[in-house]
Amino acid sequence: MTNDNTLTSQDLTDINSDDFSQAYQQFVKAGDLISLTRQFEQGFAQTGRDNQLNFNAKEAKVSLLDTGILLVEPTGSVKSSKRIVISSGIHGNETAPIEIVQQLISDIVAQDIQVKHPTLFIMGHPVAMNIAKRFETENLNRLFCGKHQTIEPCYEKYRAEKLEQYVSDFFNAGTNDVTNYHYDLHTAIRSSKYEKFAIYPYQGDKPWDKEQLSFMAGCGVNTILFGHGPTGTFSYFSSANFAAHAFTVELGKVRAFGENDMSNFQAAADKISALVCDEDLLLKDFDNNDFNLFEALGDITKVSDNFKLFVDDAASNFTDYPIGTVLSTDTGEEYRTTKHGESVVFPNANVGNGQRAALIVVPTTLS
Protein backbone atom coordinates (compact mmCIF):
# COMPACT_ATOMS: atom_id res chain seq x y z
CA MET A 1 0.00 0.00 0.00
CA THR A 2 1.17 3.50 -0.74
CA ASN A 3 1.84 5.96 2.00
CA ASP A 4 0.89 9.10 0.15
CA ASN A 5 -2.45 10.71 -0.34
CA THR A 6 -3.55 8.36 -3.08
CA LEU A 7 -5.26 5.80 -0.83
CA THR A 8 -8.37 4.48 -2.49
CA SER A 9 -11.31 2.83 -0.78
CA GLN A 10 -10.24 -0.37 -2.55
CA ASP A 11 -6.89 -0.29 -0.69
CA LEU A 12 -8.75 0.12 2.56
CA THR A 13 -11.20 -2.70 1.91
CA ASP A 14 -8.32 -4.99 1.08
CA ILE A 15 -6.54 -4.29 4.33
CA ASN A 16 -9.40 -4.92 6.57
CA SER A 17 -13.01 -5.89 6.07
CA ASP A 18 -13.37 -8.81 8.55
CA ASP A 19 -10.59 -7.67 10.81
CA PHE A 20 -12.17 -4.26 10.91
CA SER A 21 -15.69 -5.37 11.85
CA GLN A 22 -14.25 -7.46 14.66
CA ALA A 23 -12.14 -4.58 15.96
CA TYR A 24 -15.08 -2.18 15.63
CA GLN A 25 -17.36 -4.49 17.64
CA GLN A 26 -14.65 -4.66 20.28
CA PHE A 27 -14.54 -0.85 20.34
CA VAL A 28 -18.32 -0.61 20.78
CA LYS A 29 -18.01 -2.91 23.80
CA ALA A 30 -14.90 -1.55 25.49
CA GLY A 31 -14.50 1.99 24.09
CA ASP A 32 -10.77 1.69 23.43
CA LEU A 33 -10.32 4.21 20.60
CA ILE A 34 -6.51 4.21 20.96
CA SER A 35 -6.41 0.50 20.15
CA LEU A 36 -8.83 0.75 17.21
CA THR A 37 -7.02 3.79 15.80
CA ARG A 38 -3.60 2.17 16.05
CA GLN A 39 -4.86 -1.02 14.39
CA PHE A 40 -6.23 0.94 11.43
CA GLU A 41 -3.78 3.82 11.09
CA GLN A 42 -4.54 4.25 7.39
CA GLY A 43 -8.27 4.22 7.94
CA PHE A 44 -10.96 1.84 6.81
CA ALA A 45 -13.30 1.56 3.89
CA GLN A 46 -16.40 3.10 5.41
CA THR A 47 -15.84 6.73 6.35
CA GLY A 48 -17.94 9.84 6.76
CA ARG A 49 -21.31 10.53 8.34
CA ASP A 50 -23.36 7.87 6.61
CA ASN A 51 -21.06 4.93 7.18
CA GLN A 52 -23.41 3.17 9.65
CA LEU A 53 -20.63 2.94 12.22
CA ASN A 54 -22.68 4.30 15.08
CA PHE A 55 -24.17 3.17 18.36
CA ASN A 56 -25.95 4.61 21.36
CA ALA A 57 -24.48 5.88 24.60
CA LYS A 58 -26.30 7.66 27.42
CA GLU A 59 -28.84 9.82 25.53
CA ALA A 60 -26.25 10.29 22.81
CA LYS A 61 -25.32 8.87 19.45
CA VAL A 62 -21.68 7.88 18.97
CA SER A 63 -20.41 7.82 15.36
CA LEU A 64 -16.98 6.68 14.23
CA LEU A 65 -16.37 8.91 11.20
CA ASP A 66 -12.85 7.84 10.36
CA THR A 67 -9.78 6.47 12.06
CA GLY A 68 -9.28 8.45 15.26
CA ILE A 69 -12.35 10.62 14.63
CA LEU A 70 -15.37 10.13 16.85
CA LEU A 71 -18.52 12.25 16.90
CA VAL A 72 -20.79 12.23 19.96
CA GLU A 73 -24.18 13.93 19.64
CA PRO A 74 -26.84 14.27 22.34
CA THR A 75 -30.18 12.75 21.31
CA GLY A 76 -32.33 14.56 23.91
CA SER A 77 -34.71 17.35 22.99
CA VAL A 78 -32.83 20.16 24.79
CA LYS A 79 -31.18 22.43 22.24
CA SER A 80 -27.46 22.58 22.73
CA SER A 81 -25.66 25.95 22.83
CA LYS A 82 -22.15 24.68 22.11
CA ARG A 83 -20.22 22.64 19.59
CA ILE A 84 -16.89 21.35 20.86
CA VAL A 85 -13.80 19.85 19.22
CA ILE A 86 -11.29 18.12 21.51
CA SER A 87 -8.23 17.08 19.54
CA SER A 88 -5.13 15.18 20.63
CA GLY A 89 -2.14 13.48 19.04
CA ILE A 90 -1.67 15.96 16.19
CA HIS A 91 1.90 15.12 17.12
CA GLY A 92 1.87 11.33 17.41
CA ASN A 93 4.22 10.92 20.37
CA GLU A 94 2.32 13.35 22.60
CA THR A 95 0.52 10.62 24.45
CA ALA A 96 -0.95 12.27 27.55
CA PRO A 97 -3.58 14.23 25.58
CA ILE A 98 -4.50 11.07 23.67
CA GLU A 99 -5.00 9.33 27.01
CA ILE A 100 -7.17 12.22 28.26
CA VAL A 101 -9.39 11.88 25.19
CA GLN A 102 -9.39 8.10 25.62
CA GLN A 103 -10.58 8.40 29.21
CA LEU A 104 -13.50 10.59 28.17
CA ILE A 105 -14.46 8.20 25.39
CA SER A 106 -14.28 5.21 27.77
CA ASP A 107 -16.58 7.04 30.18
CA ILE A 108 -19.01 7.89 27.38
CA VAL A 109 -19.10 4.35 25.96
CA ALA A 110 -19.50 2.89 29.48
CA GLN A 111 -22.39 5.36 29.93
CA ASP A 112 -20.73 6.78 33.04
CA ILE A 113 -21.07 10.32 31.71
CA GLN A 114 -23.68 12.00 29.51
CA VAL A 115 -22.54 14.31 26.73
CA LYS A 116 -24.82 17.36 26.44
CA HIS A 117 -23.16 19.21 23.56
CA PRO A 118 -22.16 17.79 20.17
CA THR A 119 -18.48 16.96 20.51
CA LEU A 120 -15.92 15.82 17.97
CA PHE A 121 -13.07 13.85 19.53
CA ILE A 122 -9.89 13.53 17.48
CA MET A 123 -6.73 11.45 17.71
CA GLY A 124 -4.90 13.37 15.05
CA HIS A 125 -2.01 11.35 13.69
CA PRO A 126 -2.41 7.54 13.92
CA VAL A 127 0.69 6.81 11.80
CA ALA A 128 2.97 8.88 14.04
CA MET A 129 1.30 7.36 17.11
CA ASN A 130 2.41 3.93 15.90
CA ILE A 131 6.01 4.93 15.28
CA ALA A 132 6.10 7.02 18.51
CA LYS A 133 7.24 10.10 16.64
CA ARG A 134 6.04 13.66 16.42
CA PHE A 135 5.37 13.20 12.70
CA GLU A 136 6.42 11.03 9.76
CA THR A 137 7.33 13.52 7.00
CA GLU A 138 5.91 16.97 7.80
CA ASN A 139 4.85 18.71 11.01
CA LEU A 140 1.06 18.28 10.82
CA ASN A 141 0.42 21.31 13.02
CA ARG A 142 1.80 23.66 10.37
CA LEU A 143 -0.39 22.35 7.54
CA PHE A 144 -3.83 23.71 8.38
CA CYS A 145 -5.60 26.65 6.74
CA GLY A 146 -4.90 25.05 3.39
CA LYS A 147 -1.11 24.99 3.85
CA HIS A 148 -1.27 21.23 3.11
CA GLN A 149 -1.97 22.19 -0.49
CA THR A 150 1.54 23.58 -0.86
CA ILE A 151 3.49 20.43 0.00
CA GLU A 152 4.39 17.17 -1.74
CA PRO A 153 2.17 14.11 -1.15
CA CYS A 154 2.73 12.53 2.26
CA TYR A 155 0.54 11.16 5.05
CA GLU A 156 0.35 14.53 6.81
CA LYS A 157 -0.86 16.26 3.66
CA TYR A 158 -3.67 13.72 3.36
CA ARG A 159 -4.52 13.81 7.06
CA ALA A 160 -4.56 17.65 7.37
CA GLU A 161 -7.03 17.85 4.51
CA LYS A 162 -9.24 15.18 6.12
CA LEU A 163 -9.12 16.84 9.53
CA GLU A 164 -10.03 20.21 8.06
CA GLN A 165 -12.95 18.60 6.28
CA TYR A 166 -14.32 16.81 9.37
CA VAL A 167 -13.96 19.89 11.57
CA SER A 168 -15.58 22.11 8.91
CA ASP A 169 -18.50 19.73 8.48
CA PHE A 170 -18.90 19.59 12.25
CA PHE A 171 -18.95 23.36 12.82
CA ASN A 172 -21.01 24.00 9.67
CA ALA A 173 -23.73 21.73 11.06
CA GLY A 174 -24.29 24.22 13.92
CA THR A 175 -26.71 27.12 13.87
CA ASN A 176 -25.77 30.80 14.23
CA ASP A 177 -26.61 30.99 17.93
CA VAL A 178 -24.22 28.17 18.85
CA THR A 179 -20.75 28.92 20.27
CA ASN A 180 -17.86 26.87 18.89
CA TYR A 181 -14.90 25.57 20.90
CA HIS A 182 -11.71 23.80 19.93
CA TYR A 183 -9.07 22.72 22.41
CA ASP A 184 -6.10 21.13 20.67
CA LEU A 185 -4.15 19.26 23.34
CA HIS A 186 -0.38 18.77 23.14
CA THR A 187 2.64 18.08 25.27
CA ALA A 188 5.91 19.89 24.55
CA ILE A 189 9.21 18.30 23.46
CA ARG A 190 11.41 20.60 25.51
CA SER A 191 11.05 21.54 29.13
CA SER A 192 9.43 24.83 29.97
CA LYS A 193 9.96 27.31 32.76
CA TYR A 194 6.18 27.08 33.09
CA GLU A 195 5.22 23.44 32.73
CA LYS A 196 1.80 24.01 31.20
CA PHE A 197 1.05 26.79 28.76
CA ALA A 198 -1.39 27.60 26.01
CA ILE A 199 -1.09 29.46 22.76
CA TYR A 200 -4.11 31.67 22.15
CA PRO A 201 -4.46 31.97 18.36
CA TYR A 202 -4.19 35.46 16.86
CA GLN A 203 -7.59 37.18 17.03
CA GLY A 204 -7.13 40.14 14.69
CA ASP A 205 -9.42 42.93 15.96
CA LYS A 206 -11.26 40.70 18.43
CA PRO A 207 -10.38 41.07 22.14
CA TRP A 208 -8.83 38.20 24.10
CA ASP A 209 -11.64 36.43 25.95
CA LYS A 210 -11.09 36.56 29.71
CA GLU A 211 -13.60 33.81 30.45
CA GLN A 212 -11.60 31.53 28.16
CA LEU A 213 -8.45 32.43 30.09
CA SER A 214 -10.29 31.49 33.28
CA PHE A 215 -11.18 28.16 31.67
CA MET A 216 -7.49 27.61 30.88
CA ALA A 217 -6.59 28.41 34.50
CA GLY A 218 -9.22 25.90 35.60
CA CYS A 219 -7.44 23.35 33.41
CA GLY A 220 -4.22 24.08 35.33
CA VAL A 221 -2.81 26.24 32.52
CA ASN A 222 -2.01 29.78 33.68
CA THR A 223 0.76 30.69 31.23
CA ILE A 224 -0.67 32.09 28.02
CA LEU A 225 1.15 33.15 24.89
CA PHE A 226 -0.93 35.46 22.70
CA GLY A 227 -0.54 34.66 19.01
CA HIS A 228 0.74 37.54 16.88
CA GLY A 229 -0.33 36.50 13.40
CA PRO A 230 -2.08 33.91 11.23
CA THR A 231 -0.51 30.41 11.36
CA GLY A 232 -1.12 26.93 10.02
CA THR A 233 -2.03 25.41 13.40
CA PHE A 234 -5.17 23.37 13.99
CA SER A 235 -6.45 25.73 16.68
CA TYR A 236 -5.90 28.79 14.47
CA PHE A 237 -7.86 27.02 11.72
CA SER A 238 -10.96 26.71 13.93
CA SER A 239 -10.54 30.16 15.44
CA ALA A 240 -10.13 31.94 12.11
CA ASN A 241 -12.71 30.03 10.08
CA PHE A 242 -15.42 29.23 12.63
CA ALA A 243 -14.92 31.92 15.30
CA ALA A 244 -14.26 29.08 17.73
CA HIS A 245 -12.82 29.75 21.16
CA ALA A 246 -9.64 27.83 20.48
CA PHE A 247 -6.27 27.12 22.06
CA THR A 248 -3.19 25.02 21.47
CA VAL A 249 -2.72 23.66 24.97
CA GLU A 250 0.69 22.35 26.06
CA LEU A 251 0.16 20.14 29.09
CA GLY A 252 3.72 19.20 30.05
CA LYS A 253 6.50 17.08 28.66
CA VAL A 254 6.31 14.28 26.10
CA ARG A 255 6.32 10.73 27.50
CA ALA A 256 5.53 7.27 26.12
CA PHE A 257 2.09 5.65 26.38
CA GLY A 258 1.49 4.43 29.92
CA GLU A 259 4.32 6.56 31.37
CA ASN A 260 2.24 9.66 32.00
CA ASP A 261 1.34 10.58 35.54
CA MET A 262 -2.30 11.22 34.70
CA SER A 263 -2.93 12.98 38.03
CA ASN A 264 -0.86 15.81 36.51
CA PHE A 265 -3.57 16.25 33.86
CA GLN A 266 -6.61 15.69 36.07
CA ALA A 267 -7.64 19.35 36.21
CA ALA A 268 -7.69 19.59 32.41
CA ALA A 269 -9.52 16.26 32.03
CA ASP A 270 -12.13 17.29 34.62
CA LYS A 271 -12.82 20.71 33.10
CA ILE A 272 -13.12 19.30 29.58
CA SER A 273 -15.48 16.62 30.86
CA ALA A 274 -17.56 19.26 32.68
CA LEU A 275 -17.70 21.34 29.48
CA VAL A 276 -18.98 18.55 27.24
CA CYS A 277 -21.39 17.32 29.95
CA ASP A 278 -22.66 20.87 30.58
CA GLU A 279 -21.81 20.79 34.27
CA ASP A 280 -20.92 23.92 36.25
CA LEU A 281 -17.35 24.83 35.31
CA LEU A 282 -16.72 26.58 38.66
CA LEU A 283 -14.35 29.14 37.13
CA LYS A 284 -12.64 31.92 39.03
CA ASP A 285 -13.03 35.43 37.56
CA PHE A 286 -10.08 36.56 35.49
CA ASP A 287 -7.31 38.30 37.45
CA ASN A 288 -3.97 39.23 35.85
CA ASN A 289 -2.22 38.15 39.06
CA ASP A 290 -3.23 34.51 38.47
CA PHE A 291 -1.47 34.38 35.09
CA ASN A 292 1.83 34.65 33.27
CA LEU A 293 0.72 36.37 30.08
CA PHE A 294 3.13 36.86 27.20
CA GLU A 295 2.92 38.71 23.94
CA ALA A 296 5.26 38.24 21.00
CA LEU A 297 7.92 40.85 20.47
CA GLY A 298 9.17 39.26 17.27
CA ASP A 299 11.12 36.44 15.68
CA ILE A 300 14.82 35.80 15.49
CA THR A 301 15.22 34.78 11.86
CA LYS A 302 18.21 32.92 10.47
CA VAL A 303 19.37 34.98 7.51
CA SER A 304 22.63 33.34 6.42
CA ASP A 305 24.87 30.34 7.08
CA ASN A 306 26.85 32.51 9.51
CA PHE A 307 23.89 32.55 11.88
CA LYS A 308 24.67 31.73 15.52
CA LEU A 309 22.03 31.34 18.21
CA PHE A 310 23.33 31.70 21.76
CA VAL A 311 20.31 29.99 23.24
CA ASP A 312 20.79 26.25 23.60
CA ASP A 313 18.28 24.14 21.64
CA ALA A 314 17.59 22.40 24.93
CA ALA A 315 16.87 25.63 26.83
CA SER A 316 13.52 25.70 28.61
CA ASN A 317 10.74 27.62 26.92
CA PHE A 318 10.17 31.07 28.50
CA THR A 319 13.74 31.36 29.75
CA ASP A 320 14.27 35.09 30.25
CA TYR A 321 17.44 37.10 29.67
CA PRO A 322 18.66 40.39 31.18
CA ILE A 323 18.48 43.53 29.06
CA GLY A 324 21.52 43.80 26.80
CA THR A 325 22.06 40.05 26.26
CA VAL A 326 23.17 39.09 22.75
CA LEU A 327 20.93 36.18 21.72
CA SER A 328 22.11 35.71 18.16
CA THR A 329 24.50 36.99 15.51
CA ASP A 330 24.35 36.78 11.74
CA THR A 331 26.16 38.41 8.84
CA GLY A 332 26.54 42.05 9.89
CA GLU A 333 23.88 41.97 12.60
CA GLU A 334 23.05 40.79 16.09
CA TYR A 335 19.97 40.42 18.26
CA ARG A 336 20.31 42.06 21.66
CA THR A 337 17.54 42.13 24.28
CA THR A 338 16.14 45.58 25.03
CA LYS A 339 13.08 44.93 27.20
CA HIS A 340 12.53 43.76 30.73
CA GLY A 341 11.56 40.08 30.95
CA GLU A 342 12.43 39.27 27.33
CA SER A 343 12.09 35.49 27.02
CA VAL A 344 12.73 32.88 24.36
CA VAL A 345 10.22 30.30 23.19
CA PHE A 346 10.80 27.41 20.72
CA PRO A 347 14.54 28.02 20.07
CA ASN A 348 15.87 25.97 17.16
CA ALA A 349 19.12 26.91 15.42
CA ASN A 350 18.75 24.09 12.87
CA VAL A 351 16.39 25.83 10.50
CA GLY A 352 16.87 26.91 6.91
CA ASN A 353 17.91 30.44 5.95
CA GLY A 354 14.92 32.74 6.12
CA GLN A 355 13.17 30.68 8.81
CA ARG A 356 12.39 31.43 12.44
CA ALA A 357 15.06 30.24 14.89
CA ALA A 358 13.32 31.54 18.01
CA LEU A 359 10.28 33.48 19.12
CA ILE A 360 10.91 36.40 21.50
CA VAL A 361 8.14 37.22 23.98
CA VAL A 362 7.63 39.73 26.78
CA PRO A 363 5.29 39.72 29.79
CA THR A 364 2.03 41.57 29.37
CA THR A 365 -1.28 42.11 31.18
CA LEU A 366 -4.87 42.57 30.04
CA SER A 367 -6.72 45.77 30.92
DSSP letter string, 87-111: EE-SSTT-HHHHHHHHHHHHHHHTT
For residue 79, report the phi and psi dihedrals to the nearest 5 degrees: -75, 130
State which residue, 95 or 119, has the beta carbon closest to Zn ion.
95
Q: Which is nearer to Zn ion, 73 or 94 (CB)?
A: 94
Alpha helix segments (H runs only) across the chain: 9-30, 33-39, 95-109, 126-131, 155-172, 210-218, 234-242, 266-276
Catalytic residue among 250, 259, 334, 342: 250
As measured in angstroms, the least distance from the Cβ of 46 to Zn ion is 29
Residues 6+ apart with CB under 8 A from 225: 197, 198, 199, 200, 294, 295, 296, 345, 361
User: Could you tell me the smallest distance in angstroms from the CB atom of residue 110 to Zn ion?
Assistant: 29
- Residue 241 has, within 13 A of its CA and on its CB side, a CA count of 20
Q: Smallest gap, in angstroms, from Cβ of residue 367 to Zn ion?
A: 31
For residue 240, the SS3 value is helix
Nearest approach in angstroms of CB 186 to Zn ion is: 3
Question: Is the Cα dihedral 23, 29, 35, 38 positive or negative?
Answer: positive
Q: Which is nearer to Zn ion, 67 or 233 (CB)?
A: 233
- Output the residue with the shortest Cβ distance to Zn ion: 186
Residues 173, 38: Cα–Cα separation, whole Å: 29
The question of whether 333 is a catalytic residue gets the answer no
Complex with Zn ion: residue 185 or 293, whichever CB lies closer: 185
Q: Which residues bind Zn ion (CB under 5 A)?
A: 91, 94, 186
Nearest-angstrom CA–CA distance, 194 and 316 = 9
The torsion region of residue 195 among left (phi > 0), alpha (psi -120 to 50) and beta comes to: alpha
User: Is 94 or 164 the residue whose CB approaches Zn ion more closely?
Assistant: 94
Which strand ranges, in their side-by-side order, compose the sheet holding 308-309?
308-309, 326-330, 333-336
CB of 188 to Zn ion, least distance (A): 7
**Among residues 250, 247, 239, which one has the least CA distance to residue 203?**
239
Active site residues: 250
